[in-house]
Chains A and B, each alone.
Chain A
């Protein structure tokens, strides 16, 4: 690659004096340090728990066999794996929408989304690794013997590999220009920026080029994304052996709930970023209202799916479906189920009210973001676990499963790890794209 030519002209406006980087990059504010240390600590606890597990096997978790052992063999790890994959939905979708439909108002949150996608995909991959007693054997054998007829194959090629890589490419291509601009300043990241810029010259031709690339990437990624999330749905939806799993609605259901949790996360993250990086001027209420509407659309669709689901399992259920639906609606899992429904409905109501009154408040939108994620986590858990403990097709005694501290520690560790990745990124690179105006 040929080195980029550095413009001699002093860049104007947008950000402060020479050498100073925008969005508090490189500045370790006390609050950030607190955040960093806290997250590091939680991650460490998670890692410690993981060491326990690696050393003594999954026996240290609350997981046990199905059937005679009357436990659940898939638990928190799988639930959160599904959740994290779901979250990854947001970024690329938003970014792609922006590119395809030219939604300028969302431009500023585009990179947050892309980053969110990359991070959550990594967390998803780690969550599934945590579920395996022999991670290395798994990685090798998956590459060596991977079989397309297993729904896991899609998950693991499409989602983990294809989707993740595509998102990285996308993130990179859309970040080069900023890297080039920052490379013009003296900072401890200069070399990094220059490397990333890879000789970017901010010409009209280059911009046209990038627009074309990103457009086509978006076009190819969107279907990939639908497929990817569907395959996760297929992991369950193709299984007739467990009550409440088999069904055509699983795949679309997964896609939509993925959207809900993803957008919800994006909203929260955007709100944090805008206050953390002095970009209130960039990320405006418009962005939030936009995301809000998007979320509302998906949420309504999902609530519709849920209604259909409830009707299906209660109207004329088979013996095992009945046992399961009882466990869900009035039994062991009722509090989780109705908790989820409540949070989703409240979120929908909040959004509808704002949409009708046309008066959007960032606070309220963020609140919905939080609510829908609570709902999403709960729903993922309810998809994975109850079908294993209740309504088994042979007269096995009813099972029980309670995640123990090891599992929780690892899951929270993963969240903290994600937070760390984003936090560090924010201190190295502008998480909000620099403006068009920052140009010759």
Chain B
């Protein structure tokens, strides 16, 4: 259970980061107007959320009491 949830949190966090990163203005491009806008608003916010969730897994991992 502990491992399970932790893994999910890490995966979810990384997932969010990857997703949101690709949802932002494409890193390579800077000449087209599109590059000035993220494909999804608040993508950057989501990216940070991903970081937060991923690291929170550590807290859960150590705090979780387990089911007896």
**Chains A and B directly touch (beta carbon < 8 Å):** yes
A positions within 8 Å CB-CB of B? 1-2, 142-149, 153, 157, 161-162, 165-166, 169-170, 172-173, 176, 198-199, 206, 209-210, 213, 216-217
Extra contacts, 19 of them, besides A213-B61, A216-B58 (Cβ < 8 A), are: A1-B65, A142-B44, A143-B48, A144-B44, A145-B37, A146-B38, A146-B47, A147-B24, A149-B27, A149-B35, A157-B44, A162-B51, A169-B56, A199-B65, A206-B62, A209-B62, A213-B62, A217-B55, A217-B58
Chain B residues closer than 8 Å to A173, beta-carbon distance: 58-59, 62
- Say how far B4's CB is from chain A's closest CB, in angstroms: 15
- Chain B: residues with Cβ within 8 Å of the partner, total of 27
Q: A153 is contacted by which of B28, B35, B44, B61 (Cβ under 8 Å)?
A: B44
Chain B residues closer than 8 Å to A148, beta-carbon distance: 21, 24-25, 27
Q: Are A146 and B62 in contact (CB under 8 A)?
A: no
Main secondary structure, interface of B, reads: helix
B positions within 8 Å CB-CB of A? 21, 24-25, 27-28, 30, 35-38, 41-45, 47-48, 51-52, 55-56, 58-59, 61-63, 65
Which one of B21, B28, B44, B51 has the highest number of Cβ atoms from chain A below 10 Å of its Cβ? B44
- Say how far B57's CB is from chain A's closest CB, in angstroms: 9
- Say how far A117's CB is from chain B's closest CB, in angstroms: 14
With A165-B51, A165-B55, A169-B55 in contact, is A146–B44 under 8 Å at CB? Answer: yes
Q: Are A162 and B48 in contact (CB under 8 A)?
A: yes
What would 26 A/B residue contacts be, using CB atoms closer than 8 Å?
A1-B65, A2-B65, A143-B42, A143-B45, A143-B48, A144-B42, A144-B44, A145-B38, A145-B44, A146-B38, A146-B43, A147-B24, A147-B35, A147-B36, A149-B27, A157-B51, A161-B51, A161-B52, A165-B55, A166-B55, A169-B56, A169-B59, A173-B59, A176-B62, A198-B63, A206-B62
Chain B residue nearest to A148 in the complex (CB): B27
- Say how far A240's CB is from chain B's closest CB, in angstroms: 15
A285–B57 alpha-carbon span in the complex (Å):
37
A216–B57 alpha-carbon span in the complex (Å):
11
Chain B residues closer than 8 Å to A1, beta-carbon distance: 63, 65
A144–B35 alpha-carbon span in the complex (Å):
14
Chain A residue nearest to B64 in the complex (CB): A1
Q: Are B62 and A149 in contact (CB under 8 A)?
A: no
A144–B43 alpha-carbon span in the complex (Å):
7
Q: Are B58 and A169 in contact (CB under 8 A)?
A: yes
Which one of A153, A162, A216 has the highest number of Cβ atoms from chain B below 10 Å of its Cβ? A162
Which one of A147, A149, A170 has the highest number of Cβ atoms from chain B below 10 Å of its Cβ? A147
Task: Count contacts between A and B, CB distance < 8 Å.
Answer: 79
Q: Are A213 and B44 in contact (CB under 8 A)?
A: no
Chain B residues closer than 8 Å to A161, beta-carbon distance: 48, 51-52
Chain A residues closer than 8 Å to B30, beta-carbon distance: 149
Q: Are A157 and B47 in contact (CB under 8 A)?
A: yes
Chain B residues closer than 8 Å to A166, beta-carbon distance: 51, 55
A294–B27 alpha-carbon span in the complex (Å):
37
Chain A residues closer than 8 Å to B35, beta-carbon distance: 147, 149
Chain A residue nearest to B62 in the complex (CB): A213
Chain A residues closer than 8 Å to B61, beta-carbon distance: 209, 213
Chain A residue nearest to B44 in the complex (CB): A146
With A143-B45, A198-B63, A199-B65 in contact, is A149–B55 under 8 Å at CB? Answer: no
A144–B52 alpha-carbon span in the complex (Å):
17
With A146-B44, A198-B63 in contact, is A213–B27 under 8 Å at CB? Answer: no
Chain A residues closer than 8 Å to B43, beta-carbon distance: 146
With A173-B58, A199-B63, A213-B62 in contact, is A146–B51 under 8 Å at CB? Answer: no
Chain A residues closer than 8 Å to B45, beta-carbon distance: 143-144, 146
- Say how far A155's CB is from chain B's closest CB, in angstroms: 12
- Say how far B10's CB is from chain A's closest CB, in angstroms: 10
Chain B residue nearest to A176 in the complex (CB): B62
- Say how far B48's CB is from chain A's closest CB, in angstroms: 4
Q: Are A213 and B58 in contact (CB under 8 A)?
A: yes
Q: Are B48 and A157 in contact (CB under 8 A)?
A: yes
A217–B10 alpha-carbon span in the complex (Å):
12
Chain A residues closer than 8 Å to B41, beta-carbon distance: 144-145
Chain B residues closer than 8 Å to A176, beta-carbon distance: 62-63
